Chain A
Amino acid sequence: MDTDRFTRVDATTWRIEPRGAMRVPAIIYADEELISGMDDKVYEQAANVATLPGIVQASYAMPDAHWGYGFPIGGVAAFDPDQGGVVSAGGVGFDISCGVRTMLTGLKITDVLSVQPSLADSLFRQIPAGVGSKGAITLDAVDMDAMLTGGAVWAIERGLGEARDLERIEESGRMGGAQSECVSERAKERQRREMGTLGSSNHYLEVQGVAEIYDAKVADAFGFSNDDVVVTIHCGSRGLGHQIGTEFLKEMVLAAKSSCIELVDRELACAPINSEVGQRYLGAMRAAINCALANREILGHIARRIFRHFFPERSLRLLFDVSHNTCKVELHAVDGKPRQLFVHRKGATRAFGPGHESLPAALRSVGQPVLIGGSMGTGSYVLVGEASAESKAFASACHGAGRALSRHAALRQWSGRKVVDELAGRGILIKSPSLRGVAEEAPGAYKDVGAVVAAAERAGLARRVARLRPLICIKG
């Protein structure tokens, strides 16, 4: 888009001055090349979010921002309940608590290369991925409610995870305030056989090697060094979250009028935090967060089982588990005063800097791991939260590369077979039930993740620690 439409604050801060119904400015963090490449819709959507009641400070977009639904993907916005602030089902999205976890294996790349094809086959056979796959677990009504309030803690109690993981999962693995009675029977039905499934589209399980270290001290605190192997899982709350998103989006669209909320885009569907619908959504959304936390814990458990088979003397340790589609209640300093805000992150990662009280002792002095998923070919990044992100965007950073091309365009440009073969030539094994799905997710369809994280670092949102290169990718 045309950079003349912004006030350029500095090299990576682009400001849309309030106009029309905007209550606050909108701020996009990106370098000149990234912002020039962004769709005009990002501008429009970031500005639209700024019109919502009770928004605090500004509507933000991260360097990987792209055209989303109501909110841009890569959008961050905080609302104050005491100033008529809203909670938005559109601002969280369909895949509630979609997120990333990275597990340390203690292995070196050479260890994995010796078993790479059979490890890939084994992961692909045992990790349910894509449409038509079902998990090994079926939940009855009692288990469903326990899962929705227990999150990863529930999974661990069921023997599907390890207790030491909990301090490395946001909210210690269990989101408080979840209310399973706010979740419809239809949403629960959609989840009954979905626990421990990866899903589809851009969700994946990857075995990755540490290819480059930018900050050896932090890498050491995180527990990895060059050539180490990690396992990264990207997925969310599956059918349950999708159904909750669908139902509340509709309910909030219909309720907006009675709450006197003017929606410039129906997808901005929201309700006052202090309203019956708002509270019910929060109860259901938090239950979906628990579903995602439980799901990633179970997938991690399956990965552990497979790795134990190949490497009996090693065990997988969780580095961190972080969600990027959420609304969380957090304390933030606004004009020097601490305020309790409802922070929406839609395709944006929470990024707490050093000293944050929610971080476990081992990470507190360095900051929170910020896990950035890339595309199949280009690799991923581990970043660390910076204190400066607090004042920049309520302690938030980017979440991935962001698409550069639509699925439609990707399909015209690449064949799945060719993508698989090309990546195999570079030592990356792709396993997917659908070659068309692989083509739609071709590495070339994504922005340069390296440019995105470099911009996030320059903007003071998070700092690079390591680049990871894929060795095996299981795609739904």
Chain B
Amino acid sequence: MGVMRWEHFPHEADIGVRGFGNTVAEAFEQAALALTAAVTHAEVRPLEPIEVSCATPDLELLFVDWLNTIIYEMAVRNMLFGRFVVAVEENRLHATLWGEPVDVARHTPACEPKGATYTALRVAQEADGSWSAGCVVDV
């Protein structure tokens, strides 16, 4: 590790987030880091853990649900998250988000994610066995 394994990709109005990993869970974790990076480039300290779960009929829907779950927790708790531990089994996900309350002066949040979309949604295993997971987020 140590290499950045997520990216932002352009959308005309908003922003695309994509994570890569050896497993689907890792790709989901990395995409979550990309989501946080859309909001802030500052360090987000992993002070408080939040447990979340989602379940959907397929992996792509699960990915959108996962990002929307983070967006929901960010909004109602007024927090940002900087560390994610994800377990995926079938089409169910359980995860721990680690983060801290938003500090406007330090985090200078650039935007507020409204929701993850089905636009440019792709969760797939590549030919080399690695996974990628991405979609456009409305901000």
Contacts and interface: CB of A to CB of B under 8 A. Distances in A.
A246 B115 contact: yes
A403 B12 CA distance: 6
Contacts of B65: 250
A200 B76 contact: no
Contacts of B57: 254
Among A41, A245, A434, max chain B CB count under 10 A is at: A434
Contact of B76 (A190, A250, A266, A440): A190
A186 B15 contact: no
Interface string A191-230: 0000000011100000000000000000000000000000
Interface string B49-61: 0000000110001
Among A66, A67, A131, A199, max chain B CB count under 10 A is at: A131
Contact of A406 (B12, B71, B72): B12
A408 B65 CA distance: 24
A200 B139 contact: yes
A16 B118 CA distance: 25
Contact of A131 (B8, B9, B61, B112): B112
Interface in A224-266: 239, 242-243, 245-246, 249-250, 253-254, 265-266
B139 A132 contact: no
Interface in B15-72: 15, 39, 41, 56-57, 61, 64-65, 68, 71-72
A302 B50 CA distance: 35
Contacts of B56: 250
Given A69-B119, A267-B118, A201 B112 contact: yes
Contact of B15 (A407, A433, A436): A407
A95 B74 CA distance: 17
Interface in A431-464: 433-437, 440
Contacts of B14: 407
Given A41-B12, A67-B11, A130 B118 contact: no
Contacts of A95: 114, 138
Interface residues of B, number: 41
Contacts of A200: 109, 111-112, 139
Interface residues of A, number: 47
Among A243, A407, A433, A440, max chain B CB count under 10 A is at: A407
A94 B102 contact: no
Nearest to A409: B10
Nearest to B104: A132
B130 interface: no
A13 B112 CA distance: 36
B116 to A, nearest CB: 8
Among A69, A130, A189, max chain B CB count under 10 A is at: A69
B118 A265 contact: yes
B91 interface: no
Contacts of A134: 78
A250 B110 contact: no
Nearest to B107: A132
Contact of A201 (B102, B107, B136, B139): B139
A69 B78 contact: no
Interface in A407-440: 407-409, 433-437, 440
Contact of B78 (A132, A249, A253, A406): A132
A130 B12 contact: no
Interface in A1-58: 39, 41
A199 B112 contact: yes
Interface string A57-100: 00000000011111001000000000000000000011100000
A254 B119 CA distance: 16
A246 B68 contact: yes
A269 interface: yes
A70 B111 contact: no
Contact of B115 (A66, A189, A242, A269): A242
B15 A408 contact: yes
Given A132-B104, A132-B107, A476-B112, A250 B119 contact: no
Interface of A: 39, 41, 66-70, 73, 93-95, 130-134, 186, 189-190, 199-201, 239, 242-243, 245-246, 249-250, 253-254, 265-267, 269, 403, 406-409, 433-437, 440, 476
Q: What are the 9 tightest A-B residue pairs by CB atom distance, in nearest-first order?
A: A132-B102, A131-B109, A406-B10, A200-B112, A266-B118, A67-B12, A436-B110, A242-B114, A437-B110
Given A131-B74, A436-B41, 20 more contacts: A69-B117, A69-B138, A70-B118, A94-B138, A95-B114, A130-B109, A199-B112, A200-B112, A201-B112, A242-B71, A242-B115, A242-B138, A246-B68, A246-B71, A266-B118, A403-B12, A406-B11, A408-B15, A440-B110, A440-B111
Interface of B: 8-15, 39, 41, 56-57, 61, 64-65, 68, 71-72, 74-76, 78, 102-104, 107-112, 114-119, 121, 136, 138-139
8 contacts: A131-B109, A131-B111, A131-B112, A190-B75, A246-B115, A250-B61, A267-B119, A435-B108
